[in-house]
Amino acid sequence: MSLKIVQNFDSRFSLEPNAKKTLFQLLKSDRFLEQICQQCCCNGAEFTEQLFQPIPYSIETPKGMPKEFEKYHESDSYLLVNVPPPFMFEAKIFKPSRLCAVYRKID
């Protein structure tokens, strides 16, 4: 079995307005925010309404995310959270199959 090296990966995507609205409601829900805070040991979190599609690791993208989101990965003030598959399904988002959300810590 050989590895396939991905040279270029298009991480752009768009969401239908209704799907986006449903997904944002789920990502902002008190119950989900509480779960994030419990797991990340913070007092509070706020969804920044920024999403990105994880991308294959490469020399240019060693963190597996678009370059413009690496600043959040390196910051102690932000959290990067995988969007739960049930949220994607409930919002009827099938492409892309995975998304990550950016949250700002509130302390």
Of the chain, the percentage scoring pLDDT greater than 70 comes to 90
Q: Radius of gyration (Cα) for the chain, nearest Å? A: 15
Q: Which of 88, 6, 46 is nearest to 100 (CA)?
A: 88
Residues 6 or more apart whose CB falls under 8 angstroms from that of 95 comprise 13
- Check: CB of residue 37 under 8 Å from CB of residue 45: yes
**Residue-level pLDDT at 64:** 86
**What pLDDT does residue 46 have?**
95
Query: Three-state DSSP class for 5?
Result: coil
Phi, psi angle pair for 65, to nearest 5°? -145, 160
Give the DSSP H or E segment for 7: none
Q: Is the pLDDT of residue 14 over 90?
A: no
Q: What is the pTM of this model?
A: 0.85
Return the domain boundaries, the chain: 17-106
